[in-house]
Amino acid sequence: MPNYNGKVVSAFRNDAIKSVILIDDDYIPYEEIIDINNENNNKIDQCLIGLRSGDIEVDQYREKLNELKFSLKQSGVAREVKEYFNDLSIVCDVEKTTKDISADKIRKSDLIVLDYQLEDKDPTQALDLIYKLSTNSHMNIVVVYTNNNLDQTWLEIASCLRGSYNGDPDDYSITEGWDDKWNDFVDDNSPENWNPSDSAKADFLVSGNENKIKGEISRLLKNKGKFPELEILKCYLETVVSKHNKLKTDFNPTSSIQGDFDNKECQWLISGNVFITLLQKNESENNQLGIPKAEQIWSQVEKALCHWGPSLYRVVASELQNKIEDGRFSFEAGHSSDHKREAALLWHLINNHKDNINVAAENLLDHMLQDFSHDLLKERDLVNFIKETANHVTKDAKPHVEFEKGNEEQHKEYLLSLFEIAFSNTNRGNDKLNDAYHSDVIHTLNEELSTYKTLPKFVTTGLVMVDQDDPQSWYLCVTPSCNSVPGQVSDLASKKMTPHRNHTLLKLEKFTKYKEKLECATHSKFIFVTHETQKIALGVLDSNTNLPKIEKVVVMHHDDQPLEVDGKQVSFHSVSGSKLEYTTKKLIPVKMLRPIYAARFQNFQSHYEGRIGVDYVDLKI
């Protein structure tokens, strides 16, 4: 896919890299060169005196002179790197250590060219920098060069980014008798001698896949002993990773690492927003290894990005960020907005009780983002970039097949081909291309189309909630939004209830098997959400009666306490015999429907409650 690779390189290198920093301890800053020159002359004089007196070894001083010569030569190479990037209109700085550079300067550098061993042949300084960059909100590309074995360097970087359990294996588990179980395992198997292959360790680091290591252990234990149970195996794997984890960072289950270890031509890693690729140091005079040439560095970034092959979504996101950072996008509304509109938004912002100021501030930001989006869509460059990139995702795309009676099979084949393209472009885990994958993708699409990522600050129309104590009980708020604004009462009943508020909810029916619901998604009877990693469908109508289940409730402290992620106390009415009772439940907000979807489901409630009762008497004679 040469055209797609071109878009990747454009979005992540050519248009993205505006600043470079080279960090190498052999580099000598210009301000030190004069001092070093004087020092060299003095040392040469001492050498000559020593030679005349016969008190000094020639080889000893030759070695010292060679070291000084090499440092000066490396400074020359660093200057060439700087000039190369300057010729590309890229700002390039050179430093000899990370210790004297502000964290902000490194964080804002788009490309970091990094000597792996910055101090006494120790990679700790470089590893610490890479680890911190992995949590950076700014995208950084790091080219690491070293005279070490690249396989070992890759494993060390990946292990630090993933983290590991670094304590005593005896304390790994709180299971009763664990220490005895572990010690028996060590005594019986001597796992310190197992030495799994680097490729198997790399596979585990980037995917969590234990199969390669399991296979190697099985072959080692053939006819010798029992295969270790799962918890023992996990502890053993942590000890393996910990040996490479020079920073001894703790394992982070939420971290995600991708990479290619087996491609020896171009090894790379990505974790968070840091992308790393490895280069061997260049050999120079006297078999000394030094800074790679600038052309090598620039070319290595291109090769690594093409091997990574980021998804279309990431490519477009990077290009959007490039436009914003490069100033090629003009935020028209930001400097040509009607002053009365600005005054109106400011008045609304400051005319709020201090408890509601966050909501008003978010409203102002929402208005500005809408302006931003409007201006962005007027400039067609990015839209055209998306279209062109999508066209280059694959060269095997089938022509569009519209669904018609009689061409069901062709239409199905066309849809399946789209899944293959999407899977190839985006899959970075252990997913398999099957029916479950198809369902997950379309469920996710429906969720993206119908919901917001952010939650409101109060219970309002379109809010989907779940009972904290009963994960089978789900609700959708269908109260008109004008009746749910805190502090804004529309009738006497609401005024009497303040700070609490009457609300109308629809009781939803939960389905964990949602494939058949996707087949009729356009019937608008289901809501698709993800809760605690589980994808579910929520039925708006009762599956037996095909009618909505309506609950009249009171949301406690609706007006004076904002809605938080840990939920709201809601009072439900119930009847015991002839006695009216109240049951309080804590409802947790999960998703917020977009207005057009919320209105669609609100219509079920209004239609049901607004139906006309027929109480006339027929005459049939």
Higher pLDDT residue, 32 or 115? 115
Mean of pLDDT values over 159-186: 93
Residue 287 confidence (pLDDT): 47
Residue 284 confidence (pLDDT): 57
Tell whether the model's pLDDT for residue 291 goes beyond 90: no
| Residue 276: pLDDT band with limits 50, 70, 90 | very high
The 10s digit of each residue's pLDDT in 387-414 is 999 988 887 778 888 888 888 899 899 9
Residue 48 confidence (pLDDT): 62
Distance CA 75, CA 25 (A): 10
Phi, psi of 290 (to 5 degrees): -140, -165
Q: Is the peptide bond before 123 cis (omega within 30 degrees of 0)?
A: no
The verdict on residue 303 lying in a domain is: yes
Tell whether the model's pLDDT for residue 3 goes beyond 50: yes
| Residue 43: pLDDT band with limits 50, 70, 90 | low
When divided into structural domains, the chain yields a total of 4
The verdict on residue 207 lying in a domain is: yes
Residues forming a β-bridge with 279:
145
The verdict on residue 346 lying in a domain is: yes
Half-sphere exposure of 266 (CA within 13 A, CB side): 15
Phi, psi of 243 (to 5 degrees): -65, -30
Distance CA 151, CA 145 (A): 12
* Token pair listed for 571: 């009072």
Residue 392 CB neighbours (<10 A): 18
Where on the phi/psi map is residue 591: left (φ > 0), alpha (ψ -120 to 50), or beta?
beta
CB within 8 Å of 345: residues ≥ 6 apart? 364, 367
Residue 45 belongs to what domain range? 4-162+250-314
Based on the fold, state whether residues 501 and 579 are members of the same structural domain.
Answer: yes
Tell whether the model's pLDDT for residue 30 goes beyond 60: no
Q: Which of 424, 441, 458 is the last residue of a domain?
A: 441
| Residue 377: pLDDT band with limits 50, 70, 90 | confident
Mean of pLDDT values over 367-392: 84
Q: Which of 410, 441, 472 is the last residue of a domain?
A: 441
Residue 393 confidence (pLDDT): 87
Tell whether the model's pLDDT for residue 372 goes beyond 70: yes
Half-sphere exposure of 276 (CA within 13 A, CB side): 32
- Give buried/exposed letters for 478-488 (b at 16+ CB in 10 A, else e): bbeeebbbbee
* Burial classification of residue 581, based on how many CB atoms lie within 10 Å of its CB (0-12 exposed, 13-18 middle, 19 or more buried): exposed
Return the C-alpha torsion angle 143, 149, 154, 157, nearest 10.
-80
What is the tally of helices (H) and strands (E) in the chain?
Answer: 21, 18
- The single-letter DSSP state of residue 122 is B
Tell whether the model's pLDDT for residue 328 goes beyond 60: no
* Token pair listed for 138: 């700014």
The 10s digit of each residue's pLDDT in 428-449 is 767 889 999 999 999 999 999 9
Chain mean pLDDT for the chain: 85
- Three-state DSSP class for 570? strand
Based on the fold, state whether residues 386 and 433 are members of the same structural domain.
Answer: yes
Tell whether the model's pLDDT for residue 352 goes beyond 80: no
- Three-state DSSP class for 360? helix
Based on the fold, state whether residues 455 and 582 are members of the same structural domain.
Answer: yes
Based on the fold, state whether residues 294 and 329 are members of the same structural domain.
Answer: no
